[in-house]
């Protein structure tokens, strides 16, 4: 199932080039009093939600092209990120001073560099666009496979990891180049784009063999396959969950391949991941 969020918070099922409004199914979600849960309530109740969606009477569909797509996960508790998880991207960071800024920590392989977090306030959907800050510095795109966690897990072994996945989406890890900590440079509002929808895990048997690519204004910049991940999806879940509990709705963006390059206000990004789809994202000045 391909689940999207759009407009003012509607829930949709993507069917071909159309989106069917299934917002009525959200009534299966529990109501809460403060304090609210710190995980994503929709993802935590995904099985019940899907069952309700399948019971709904036929609803109106509208063309996907006519809706403004939001992040398919509204309230992730955390956005976990793999910094250098493709060998050729590590090579280009080591080779280009503009990317590494002479900081050895930015040139370390993932086993040394570990993981980092993007602020959840940086999260948007493709229809909301990217608002660039620090325009005197280089802002780069990074296209990544995004994994949405479906079940609470701590110390999850690789063999159980895929069973913890709710689904997959495309992630853009927008980055201001510079010397500061990654979490600062990668966390301005709109610097995490998730979309165009959530493809539930049952539709993707092997996340370790998916083409991914990105173009800017029609010009291809990155083109690789998740088989080149240094730590694949099961390894990342094992690694992340050895440091912190993973909760439903947590997002892991798995790292970007080689070809990162600058973006500027006015650009249009088109990102693709096999078995997920394509999302177009406009870039503006903040």
Q: How far is the CB of 157 from Mn ion (least distance, A)?
A: 25
Going by C-alpha positions, the residue among 59, 72, 58, 26 that lies closest to residue 45 is: 26
Q: How far is the CB of 150 from Mn ion (least distance, A)?
A: 22
What residues have CB less than 8 Å from 206, skipping those under 6 apart? none
- Using CB atoms within 10 A of its CB, is residue 197 exposed (0-12), middle (13-18) or buried (19+)? buried
Alpha helices in 127-180 (DSSP H): 158-161
- Go through the chain and tell me how many residues it has: 286
Of the two residues 116 and 244, which places its CB atom closer to Mn ion in the complex? Answer: 116
Tell me the window of 68-76, 141-149, 222-230, 259-267 that interacts with Mn ion (CB under 5 A). 141-149
Output the residue with the shortest Cβ distance to Mn ion. Answer: 173
Q: Are strands 123-124 and 277-285 parallel, antiparallel or unpaired?
A: unpaired
Q: How far is the CB of 29 from Mn ion (least distance, A)?
A: 31
Q: Are strands 143-149 and 219-225 parallel, antiparallel or unpaired?
A: unpaired
Q: How far is the CB of 100 from Mn ion (least distance, A)?
A: 14
Tell me the window of 27-35, 136-144, 237-245, 261-269 that interacts with Mn ion (CB under 5 A). 136-144
Q: Are 193 and 174 in contact (CB under 8 A)?
A: yes
Of the two residues 125 and 257, which places its CB atom closer to Mn ion in the complex? Answer: 257
Q: Give the C-alpha separation, 240 to 3, whole Å.
A: 25
Q: Give the C-alpha separation, 192 to 126, whole Å.
A: 10
Q: Would you call 161 helix, strand, or coil by DSSP?
A: helix
Q: With binding defined as CB under 5 A, does residue 139 bind Mn ion?
A: no
8-state DSSP, 262:
B
Task: By CB under 5 A, name the one of 40, 128, 142, 238 that touches Mn ion.
Answer: 142
Of the two residues 215 and 256, which places its CB atom closer to Mn ion in the complex? Answer: 256
Q: How far is the CB of 34 from Mn ion (least distance, A)?
A: 34
Q: How far is the CB of 35 from Mn ion (least distance, A)?
A: 31
Q: With binding defined as CB under 5 A, does residue 256 bind Mn ion?
A: yes
Q: With binding defined as CB under 5 A, does residue 173 bind Mn ion?
A: yes
Q: How far is the CB of 224 from Mn ion (least distance, A)?
A: 13
Q: With binding defined as CB under 5 A, does residue 85 bind Mn ion?
A: no
Kindly tell me the number of DSSP H helices and DSSP E strands found in the chain: 8, 19
Tell me the window of 60-68, 106-114, 197-205, 256-264 that interacts with Mn ion (CB under 5 A). 256-264
Q: Give the C-alpha separation, 259 to 90, whole Å.
A: 11
Tell me the window of 90-98, 110-118, 201-209, 252-260 that interacts with Mn ion (CB under 5 A). 252-260
Tell me the window of 3-11, 30-38, 128-136, 169-177 that interacts with Mn ion (CB under 5 A). 169-177
Instruction: HSE, CB side, 13 Å, CA atoms: give it for residue 10.
Output: 18
Residues that bind Mn ion (CB under 5 A): 142, 173, 256
């Amino acid at each position: 199932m391909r689940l999207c969020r759009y407009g003012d918070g509607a829930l949709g099922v993507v069917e071909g080039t159309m989106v069917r409004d299934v917002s009525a199914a959200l009534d299966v979600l529990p109501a809460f009093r403060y304090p609210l849960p710190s995980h994503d309530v929709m993802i935590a109740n995904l099985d019940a939600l899907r069952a309700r969606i399948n019971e709904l009477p036929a609803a109106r569909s509208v063309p996907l092209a006519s809706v403004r797509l939001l992040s398919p996960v509204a309230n992730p508790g955390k956005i976990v990120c793999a910094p250098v998880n493709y060998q050729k991207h590590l090579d280009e960071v080591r080779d280009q001073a503009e990317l590494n800024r002479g900081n050895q920590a930015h040139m370390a392989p993932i086993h040394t560099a570990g993981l980092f977090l993007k602020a959840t306030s940086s999260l948007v959907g493709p229809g909301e666009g990217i608002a660039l800050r620090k325009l005197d510095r280089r802002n780069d795109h990074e296209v990544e496979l995004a994994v949405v966690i479906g079940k609470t897990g701590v110390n999850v072994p690789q063999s159980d990891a895929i069973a913890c996945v709710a689904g997959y989406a495309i992630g853009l890890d927008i980055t201001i180049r510079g010397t500061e900590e990654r979490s600062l440079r990668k966390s301005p509002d709109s610097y995490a784009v998730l979309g165009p929808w959530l493809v539930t895990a049952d539709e993707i048997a092997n996340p370790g063999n998916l083409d991914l690519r990105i173009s800017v204004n029609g010009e291809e910049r990155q083109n690789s396959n998740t088989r080149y991940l240094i730590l694949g999806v099961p390894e990342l879940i094992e690694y992340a969950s050895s440091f912190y509990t993973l909760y439903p709705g947590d997002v892991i963006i798995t790292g970007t391949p080689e070809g990162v390059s600058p973006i500027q206000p006015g650009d249009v990004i088109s990102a693709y991941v096999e078995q997920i789809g394509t999302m177009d994202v406009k870039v503006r000045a903040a």
